Amino acid sequence: MSFQISDKTYETDEEGYLANLSDWNPEVAEFMAKEDDCDLSDPHWEVINFLREYYEEYQIAPAVRVLTKAIGKKLGKDKGNSKYLYELFPYGPAKQACKYAGLPKPTGCV
Amino acid sequence: MAKAEFDTPQLKGIPVIPHLQPGAMAHSRPFVAKAEHQEPLGFPGELVDDWKTKAIDKMGELLTKYRALPVFLDACVKCGACTDKCHYYLGTADPKNMPVARQDLLRKVYRRYFTFAGKHFPKLVGAVELSEEVIEDWYRYYHQCSECRRCSVYCPYGIDTAEITMAGREILAHIGIGQKYSNEIIGKVHKIGNNLGLPRPALEDTLEGLEEEVEEDLGVKIRYPVDEKGADVLLVTPSADFFAEPHVDGLIGYGKVFHQAGISWTLSSYASEAANFGIFIGNYENMQKVAMRIRQAALDLGVKRIVVGECGHAWRVAYSFWNTLIGPFDFLDPKYPVPQHVCEFTYDLLQKGALKLDKAANDDKVVTFHDSCNVSRGSRMGDFPGGQFVIPREIIKASCNHYVDMAAETIHENTFCCGGGGGLLTDDLTELRVKGAVPRMEALKRVIDEDGVTHMAAICAICKSQFTKVLPFFGMGMDMIISVHQLVGDALVLGAEH
């Protein structure tokens, strides 16, 4: 599977996750979000950027508590919880935000 | 993210056996594994040329290797006792999801190639040739069975449908048609040590974060150690406990129990997974290879005991198969059960008076308990029959004042699968998972309406993730589902002397 932005083609897996992490750019996130009728606001970008930084360092998406803690630090303690993350990413922060960030889908019993 | 393209069934308040809808779920099939997911497990990367011969040969091999399999295939008398016992049949109305019909998909081929009557008079005994159509049905419907074994409880011959599903999946994987979800995960365990692919530095970072969080909340330093040689206990737990909610609150709870009991423990970065998807795909070699990491970690760390966290099928593999898979465990302390479930561990401490629980800490909750299939029907806990039903409930009741059971026909050995077990906890099967959850949702809805239940506790990572996902489809909150050891952890009085 694949999608196209301007002239460039992006390969994806069956569920629309980017096949190559290095293909990612902000336009990719915007494009994917639009497909889901989701407008990316600053808090969305905080999450996406944190996911990318964390992945860069650890080669895995952060655990939910690592993510909520980081977002709480950046956006205020009242937002450092998964309820807030689900408001941003209703399909589930782990899966939907990872997709927009160009990361592979988390596997396992999650 | 694709929106759900199916109607969520309406809960009716009472169990209803649906009218048959032939082919209702014929469209449901999970993603097929690619070569990169197949080959590391020892399976061919794509459909092999002589797939028909290979499949029949594999069936022949399994019939010899697993002596129960031919008995299960021969013994069925079509009495019908199993027909309305499967959550996927009840939720989808597809007749091929009646356990007997799903078994027959394999049975009819078995008859054709392995029985006298089927070889010579196939039409008389419903025997059929293996064909592409049959293979396609196997792939669809052997991925509409969660291997929960509820039907076997009601079968007068004790036919274990799960064994037939496992054989079906094993044959498919060997001709090149594996399931992506399970096989990708098993590959990650072989390579990295857990289902998530969580490497050691990320595990350490995650656990350090948890220690900080618990200390901020409670003002007490509770450790979540990893790779500590010489610890008494090796805890193996599903990697979802590190990653997801509500699982992580269970992990926090285990840490509090170890802390309060003063027993040294450690996780292992090499064996950072209790789950063993080898059982789901019916492949002995992969199941053994996954389990072997745990034996190796226990030896390397020099522990005296192995405790298994809240994971349903992990406990079945540990309790029922570890001894022959990765035993003997003569290097562990014989004073303790090998292996020991974390619920047994906590229950034992409670019996000895080593833990003080303040039930009032959970007074905001009315709790019920979802028995997980692999614990209920595939194993036991404690040293008395039915311990796997009693022990988790006793722990919950010791941790909260308000506990209610769901209807008798939906708990204990009659429990309904959450709808996501057996390697089906994947988004490409969302419709199946939602529909398969219906019987459990009906029972839950009743105790919510009649008894004011606010939370459902479970001891399985799959159940917890599945309910988090499907509860909202039925208008219920995803945070209703909690870990048993979250209740324990919240009620535990830290620092109390005994």
Instruction: For residue A37, give the CATH number of its domain.
Output: 1.10.10.370
Interface of B with A in 355-384 (CB under 8 A): none
Q: What is the Cα–Cα distance from B272 to B190, expressed in whole angstroms?
A: 11
Q: Which residue of B has its CA nearest to A100?
A: B1
Assess whether pLDDT exceeds 70 at residue B3: no
Domain stop point among B155, B178, B201: B178
- Could you tell me if residue B16 is inside a domain? no
Number of domains present in the structure of chain A: 1
pLDDT in tens, B372-388: 999 999 899 999 999 99
- Could you tell me if residue B376 is inside a domain? yes
**Res A94: pLDDT:** 87
Is position A109 annotated as part of the catalytic site?
Answer: yes
Minimal CA separation from B198 to chain A, in Å? 6
Provide the domain limits for residue B65. 35-178
Query: Which CATH number covers residue B106?
Result: 1.10.1060
**Res B14: pLDDT:** 80
Instruction: Tell me the average pLDDT across A11-31.
Output: 96
- Could you tell me if residue B29 is inside a domain? no
Asked if residue B154 and residue B199 are part of one domain, the reply reads no
Contact A64 B197 (CB under 8 A): no
Residue of A37, A57, A107, A109 marked active site: A109
**Res B4: pLDDT:** 67
Provide the domain limits for residue A69. 1-110
**Res B2: pLDDT:** 60
A59 touches chain B (CB under 8 A): yes
Token pair for residue A96?
């939907």
3 state DSSP class of A61: coil
pLDDT in tens, A54-98: 999 999 999 999 999 999 999 999 999 999 999 999 999 889 999
Asked if residue B206 and residue B335 are part of one domain, the reply reads yes
Asked if residue B319 and residue B236 are part of one domain, the reply reads yes
pTM: predicted TM-score of the whole model, two decimal places: 0.97
**Res B16: pLDDT:** 85
- Could you tell me if residue B24 is inside a domain? no
- Could you tell me if residue B98 is inside a domain? yes
- Could you tell me if residue B247 is inside a domain? yes
- Could you tell me if residue B436 is inside a domain? yes
Number of domains present in the structure of chain B: 2
DSSP at A37 = T
Asked if residue B410 and residue B338 are part of one domain, the reply reads yes
Assess whether pLDDT exceeds 80 at residue B498: no
- Could you tell me if residue B61 is inside a domain? yes
Q: Which residue of A has its CA nearest to B205?
A: A66
Domain stop point among B151, B178, B205: B178
Of residues B401, B403, B372, the one with CA closest to residue B389: B372
Domain stop point among B126, B161, B178: B178
Contact A109 B199 (CB under 8 A): no
Minimal CA separation from A100 to chain B, in Å? 10
A65 touches chain B (CB under 8 A): yes
Question: Is ipTM strictly over 0.90?
Answer: yes
Asked if residue B153 and residue B201 are part of one domain, the reply reads no
**Cis peptide, bond prior to residue B339, ω within 30 of zero:** yes
